[in-house]
Amino acid sequence: MSETTTTTTTSGQQSHGQRILLENVTKKYSGQSGAAVDDVTLEIPAGEIVMLVGPSGCGKTTTMKMINRLIEPTSGRIYIGDEDVTDQDADDLRRRIGYVIQGAGLFPHYTVAENIAIVPRLLGWKKDRVAARVDELLDLVNLDPEQYRDRYPRELSGGQQQRVGVARALAADPPVLLMDEPFGAVDPITRQRLQDELLRLQEELRKTIVFVTHDFDEAVKLGDRIAILDVGSRIVQYDTPEAILTSPANEFVEGFVGHGAALKQLTLTRVRDVELHEAAVAHVGGDAAAAAQDARAKGRDWVIVLDAQERPQRWVSVRELERGGALDRVSRDLELETVSSASTLNDALDEMLTSSHGVVVVTGRRNVYQGVIRVETIMQAMQQLSSSAADVDPVQP
């Protein structure tokens, strides 16, 4: 494992995840009658996101914290890659496993840069290398280094703090990331963005990620696999989100899947998997009359105004342009919500239901405009999903 962590460079060389294997792992807290984690065997494949879901107190956090030995197992073995880490020096181990918790857990008296630099410093990296890595990571989590590196956590929003938390966990390029309800304390819109960013990051980094959540929809959205746990961390079902949604193992799992499984399946389809439509667009500073004409030719009543970097700024009606409205306002209109290509159709539907335009605007890397999704596209996807679910699941009427 040490090899992968020391190959980190600021030139973009990245380690890939390593397999984690829990073998007959048990944790008994003193004074408790049953085991909090009872003889669990679980293999987490390299480079995958595995979600641990289960009722409160079932042992999710205990299971996760045994991987970086914040909690010592009572018995059993834990392997990362081929290495048995059960008897390794715990401090040493933790420096090689990224850890993200709810509320980010940043040190309030350290700046953003100092927070991110903690593990690289402990590992003895040279100053220049640490500084370059901090900037690289801030970029990676979509925070402008110039603007944010010298701020203190209290000068950031909850979502920004959480991004710094992720950057800090990634600092020494660990092959394994543990995330304990990282997005539990932020509002739903911020949570959706952070989830999208995590998926985008994961496409690049391919870490092995163990993620504890209470939110089944989050598990479906983020997980390559989901482990549904019952008391004692007993694994009731361990499978892909598709398989859990279409063939829940028993009533306990059905309880998690809940009603509206068809709607939840929208969480399985990404914006990038469906056809985007072209909207009428114009640029800040462009010719308003020409933009209106173009929109009319396309049969559109509204135009999306993009800035010089092709980022959507606001909607403007064709009528306003025809009445001589100019395209000179640069400010971003907060009512123009966008989804990214990594977002789910469920997120897109959410945005659409609160937008008055009947479409949702899709952006790609660096928030560059890509197109729009129409409500018909979402309806079509839902029909396809429910007919394929009926094919797979024989118990469906």
Ligand X SMILES: Nc1ncnc2c1ncn2[C@@H]1O[C@H](COP(=O)(O)OP(=O)(O)OP(=O)(O)O)[C@@H](O)[C@H]1O
**Chosen residue from 25, 36, 112, 156 binding ligand X by CB under 6 A:** 36
CA 235 to CA 65: how far, in whole Å? 17
**Chosen residue from 4, 8, 15, 60 binding ligand X by CB under 6 A:** 60
Stretch that binds ligand X, among 50-58, 132-140, 190-198, 324-332 (CB under 6 A): 50-58
**Chosen residue from 24, 41, 57, 250 binding ligand X by CB under 6 A:** 57
Closest to ligand X by CB, 178 vs 205, is: 178
Closest by alpha carbon to 351, among 365, 362, 364? 362
**Chosen residue from 56, 309, 331, 387 binding ligand X by CB under 6 A:** 56
Which DSSP string corresponds to 181-224? STTTTS-HHHHHHHHHHHHHHHHHH--EEEEEES-HHHHHHH-S
Is the CB of residue 14 less than 8 Å from the CB of residue 205? yes
CA 283 to CA 307: how far, in whole Å? 6
**Chosen residue from 22, 58, 143, 288 binding ligand X by CB under 6 A:** 58
Q: Answer yes or no whether residue 29 interacts with ligand X by CB under 6 A.
A: yes
Closest to ligand X by CB, 54 vs 174, is: 54
Q: Answer yes or no whether residue 72 interacts with ligand X by CB under 6 A.
A: no
Q: Shortest distance, CB of residue 253 to ligand X, whole angstroms?
A: 16
Q: Shortest distance, CB of residue 231 to ligand X, whole angstroms?
A: 8
Closest to ligand X by CB, 70 vs 122, is: 70
Stretch that binds ligand X, among 6-14, 57-65, 84-92, 184-192 (CB under 6 A): 57-65
Structure tokens at 28: 């008994």
Side chain identity at residue 379, one-letter code: M
Side chain identity at residue 89, one-letter code: D
CA 39 to CA 43: how far, in whole Å? 13
Structure tokens at 33: 């009658």
Stretch that binds ligand X, among 28-36, 105-113, 143-151, 365-373 (CB under 6 A): 28-36
Closest to ligand X by CB, 229 vs 385, is: 229
Q: Answer yes or no whether residue 59 interacts with ligand X by CB under 6 A.
A: yes
What is the CB neighbour count within 10 angstroms for residue 376?
Answer: 11
Give the per-residue SS3 of 81-93: CCEECCCCCHHHH
Alpha carbon distances (Å) from 382 to 192, 317, 358, 386, 387 = 20, 30, 17, 6, 9
- What mask of x and - would describe binding to ligand X in positions 200 to 239, judged by CB under 6 A? ----------------------------------------
Q: Answer yes or no whether residue 61 interacts with ligand X by CB under 6 A.
A: yes
Closest to ligand X by CB, 34 vs 358, is: 34
Residues that bind ligand X (CB under 6 A): 29, 32, 36, 54, 56-62
